[in-house]
Chains A and B, each alone.
Chain A
Amino acid sequence: MTEVTTTAVWRPVDTGDTTIAVAERDALGTTARVAVWPPENLDRTLHVVDGVLMALDRQASRFRQDSEISRLHRKDGGTYMLSDGLAEAVNVALAAARWTRGLTDPTVGDALISLGYDRDFAALDPEARGPVAAATPAPGWRTVLLEGPVLRLPPGVRLDLGATAKGLGSDRAVRAAMSANQQGGGVLVSLGGDIAVDGQPPRDGWPILVADEPDPGGSARTQEVRLATGAVATSSIACRQWRRAGREMHHIVDPRTGLPADAPWRTVSVAAATCADANAASTAAVVAGDHAEDWLAQARVPARLVSRDGEVRYLGGWPASDGEPLVISSPGHVYGGASGPRAVR
């Protein structure tokens, strides 16, 4: 049973606080949510966030045949002059790979397709019986060369920017919103749970629920934290699952094997200076498996890990109790020393 809509419409969300305005809509195969204060900034903010989301989809979605990245893939290798936006997205993905020492890797595109993740997730057959191609390690991010807007892509390499794209989208959106609002007030943007904030936060920070599932209900594994600056993102193997030839699959691929990461952690949340950093770090921690805690300690980011049996672990200053602030002290890595994305769409 499906419901078909032809436009993405923002829906107002009543959180119970009248001092802010909140709205959400479907975007990028998940949900985008925007919160602003003062409330009168909402319309202008939604307008610019729409622009950011549309541009990111056109640039980097491998599920859109008309996206820029899909056109690259159809040419199967070569040297390309990218748009400013896609160049930034690829640059961020490569920087994340460098920072995570290859735990995230944008060259896992072919591996994901081999595992059956070859279309928008909601369109996947969750019980497909087709054979699974033999897993092979990703070609490796070092095979991709980006010099300014010029990309050299080896034949047979398909990019998947999933480890950083939503974070980049949230970073771009809050920056564009603050610019549109002439740096007045504050804004929060969440793309599928990858959340960035900018501007003046509410007193004590934006209240954010950390959870294993999108609708956690009364789950004991939830926590409320406060975010005043930076970003928080979550990666999980508990969702985006499907079966292929009788095998359980999920979407976080270990570049070293080309297979879904065999992680002891079902969910990892990370707070960082930017959402792309948080997005990359949470994905890297899932891929790192038993070494996740070591990697997160080296990265010096606050993190919350939930094991497969429900044990919760707090690292790097992530608060252990409800209502506490997330304190982010490490600088961002994936924007090359800058504090965030360029104001591009």
Chain B
Amino acid sequence: MNNDRDSRDDRITHAGSAEPTVGDWAPLPEHPAARTDRPSGSDGEKYRRARRRSRLAAGALMMGSGAAAVTLAYQLLPPATPPGGPVSSTGGVGTTTVTNTGTGPRVTHTVATTSASGVTTYTTTQVVNGKTVVTHVRHASTSTYHDD
């Protein structure tokens, strides 16, 4: 595919990523374990189920971008709660109470720092024999070089 065609004529151009785009997505095969939990239907039922899925897919395409539909569905997911995590109740800023279930380890020393972080490296990337080679170069610390 020629990725360098003029992109100002309203044609959609792929940026050239090696990753699959949404348009490349395909449904994953059903997990065998999931199949065993389900009563095996007759061929007619399977056919009707496939027809229903097909109609739903066609409807989604008619409604617009399939990716937009995926995004909307994803946005409807409720916020995830860590299993066994702290329980909180919200009563406005500064009034939330957090009750720790206390099953985590006791940690007494600082684990990380949030700050204007120091520059450590810069990275150069070359493609050699079809493989990407990443080189990190670390500068000796100076009083000038900092990073946020």
Contact = CB atoms under 8 A, between A and B. Distances in A.
Interface in B37-79: 65-68, 70-71, 74-79
Interface string B1-18: 001101110111111111
A37 B91 CA distance: 31
A143 interface: no
Nearest to B121: A26
A81 B104 contact: no
A31 B79 CA distance: 29
Nearest to A184: B83
Given A35-B112, A195-B114, A203 B105 contact: yes
A80 B148 contact: no
Nearest to A126: B144
Interface stretch (A41-49, A71-79, A97-105, A133-141): A71-79
Contact of A122 (B14, B88, B122): B122
B31 interface: no
A118 to B, nearest CB: 12
A265 interface: no
Given A71-B15, A71-B16, A82 B100 contact: no
Interface in A39-58: 55, 57-58
A183 B140 contact: no
A213 interface: yes
B105 A17 contact: yes
A190 B113 CA distance: 8
Interface string A5-28: 111100000011101101000100
Contacts of A37: 104-105
Given A64-B125, A203-B102, A214-B117, A19 B107 contact: yes
Interface string A318-345: 0000000101111100011111101000
A66 B20 contact: no
Contact of B120 (A30, A68, A317): A30
Given A63-B123, A234-B114, A83 B21 contact: yes
Contacts of A263: none
Contacts of A31: 117-118, 120
Interface stretch (A106-114, A204-212, A287-295): A204-212
B135 A193 contact: no
Nearest to A15: B109
Contacts of B130: none
Contacts of A58: 17-19
A223 B103 CA distance: 26
A242 B144 CA distance: 7
A20 B120 contact: no
Given A26-B121, A84-B19, A211 B115 contact: yes
Given A80-B15, A210-B114, A241-B144, A17 B107 contact: yes
Contacts of A207: 107-111
Contacts of A149: 21-23, 65, 67
Contacts of B144: 126, 241-242
Given A75-B4, A194-B114, A331-B79, A121 B140 contact: no
B118 to A, nearest CB: 4
**7 shortest A-B CB distances, which residue pairs?**
A78-B7, A239-B146, A148-B67, A19-B105, A236-B116, A120-B122, A317-B94
Given A212-B116, A338-B77, 18 more contacts: A6-B133, A17-B105, A17-B111, A20-B111, A29-B120, A30-B119, A69-B15, A84-B21, A126-B142, A148-B66, A200-B82, A202-B104, A207-B108, A232-B114, A239-B117, A267-B115, A328-B96, A331-B79
Interface of B: 3-4, 6-8, 10-23, 65-68, 70-71, 74-80, 82-86, 88, 90-98, 100-123, 125, 127, 132-140, 142, 144-148
22 contacts: A2-B138, A17-B107, A19-B107, A22-B111, A26-B121, A29-B120, A30-B118, A31-B118, A80-B12, A81-B15, A120-B122, A122-B119, A122-B145, A148-B71, A183-B83, A190-B113, A202-B105, A203-B106, A234-B114, A238-B146, A336-B75, A337-B75
